[in-house]
Structure 1
Amino acid sequence: MKGTAILYHDENKVTIIENVEHSVFTEIKDQCGDKHCQCQIENKVIDFGAVSPVLWHEDEVDWDYGY
């Protein structure tokens, strides 16, 4: 299943990852609160730094709607 992962950082920063497998979201969620949250996306290891909390949204986000 694919969807959108929403990662919250300090200082009101947010990272949105669209079209991501739920297993990648689970991997990120398991590292929530660590200093370095890392996962592999498209054969690249990405370090998102510290994230907390993380949210999952099935399907795509309709950006025209005003999220």
Structure 2
Amino acid sequence: MKGTAILFQKNQKVTIIENVDRSVFDEIKDQCGCDHCNCKLDSKVVDFGQVSPVLWHENEVDWDYGY
């Protein structure tokens, strides 16, 4: 299953990873609170630093939705 992972980082940044496997999200979630949250994306190891919380959204986010 693919979806969108939303990472809240210690430095008040938000990182959104779209079209990611649930297994990658679970790997990131297991590292919440660690100083170096690492995972493999596109054949590269990425260090997101400290993340907490991490949220999951199935499928893609509709960025064009307006009120």
Give the alignment's TM-score, normalised by structure 1: 0.93
C-alpha displacement of 1:10? 2.3
Q: Distance in 2 between matches of 1:15 and 1:34?
A: 16
Tell me what 1:35 maps to: 35
State whether structure 2 residue 43 is matched by structure 1 residue 8: no
Q: 1:46 to 1:11 in 2, by over 3 A?
A: closer
Q: Distance in 2 between matches of 1:33 and 1:11?
A: 13
Structure 2 residue runs of 5 or longer lacking an equivalent are: none
C-alpha displacement of 1:6? 0.1
Q: Distance in 1 between matches of 2:44 and 2:62?
A: 27
Worse-matched range after superposition: 31-40 or 2-11:
2-11
Give the alignment's TM-score, normalised by structure 2: 0.93
CA RMSD after TM alignment: 1.0
Structure 1 residue runs of 5 or longer lacking an equivalent are: none
Provide runs of 4+ in structure 1 moved above 2 Å.
none
Percent identity of equivalent pairs: 73
C-alpha displacement of 1:12? 2.7
